[in-house]
Amino acid sequence: MSRTWMVAPLLFGLVAGCKDEPGSAGEKDPPKAAAPEKRSNVVNVSTALPPGKKVPCTKLLDVARLSAALGKEVTLKDTSATDSEAAAVCQIKLAGTPPSAKEQERMFNDNDKKLGILPGDEICMVTAYCALAFEVAEVKKKCEADGQNTSTEIGLLTCVKSIEAGPDYRYIYSVIDGDSKCRLLVNPGPSVVDEATVKQCAKAAADLIGPDQLKD
């Protein structure tokens, strides 16, 4: 009988017998410690008000503080009925009496065919959406896909849309305010073509609107 044939079964038996021995290759690995959970970078903004809840503009924006923030005396007009989803739609106007038609013509000719913001003119319109939940990263993604500039200069996120208007541009600011949990949409008045004015309105609104202004 061949010697090789006798040794082969013996080796097979030794290997099989070692399979369940401690420290062998067949032993199950000890359970691994659970990996520490990664903290999510997603920032969600929950709703501040129930759907359909309205807040008077005079409560949302204090006129005296708003005038101080804008550096000029202003008035407020509440047009919240124009938007069913908004908690408030507030038209901010420059206080005072508009000049006569003749005076406006003189100003137009003396100021390179531009009148600027006259007393009684709308400076900006602030629309506060406080009954919608937002995911900041998703809103940022949508703003950038629309070609808007984004930053965190005002609130948790600021989106700026520029629209060509003849030789000028009009700027629309959208701010997610972490303090009030509202999304503030700030549109320029009809005669406003400079970004600085709209930005000033957006910053004033974000600074003035907080949880206290939304309370009953």
Report the distance separating Cα 106 and Cα 126, nearest Å.
Answer: 31
pLDDT tens string 195-215: 999 999 999 999 999 999 999
Confidence bin at 116 (pLDDT 50/70/90): confident
The domain limits of the chain are: 44-214
**In whole angstroms, what is the distance from residue 67 CA to residue 14 CA?**
92
Question: What is the tens place of the pLDDT at every residue in 34-55?
Answer: 555 454 555 666 788 999 999 9
Q: Which residues of 36-74 are buried (b: 16+ CB within 10 A; e: fewer)?
A: eeeeeeeeebeebbeeeebbebeebbeeeebbebbeeeb
CB-based contacts of 42, cutoff 8 Å, min separation 6: 135, 136, 137
**Class assignment of domain 44-214?**
alpha beta
Task: Give me the percent of the chain exceeding a pLDDT of 70.
Answer: 75
Tell me: pLDDT of 18 over 50.
no
Q: What is the pLDDT of residues 155-200, one digit of tens each?
A: 999 999 999 988 889 999 999 999 999 999 999 999 899 999 999 9
What value does the mean pLDDT of the chain take?
A: 82
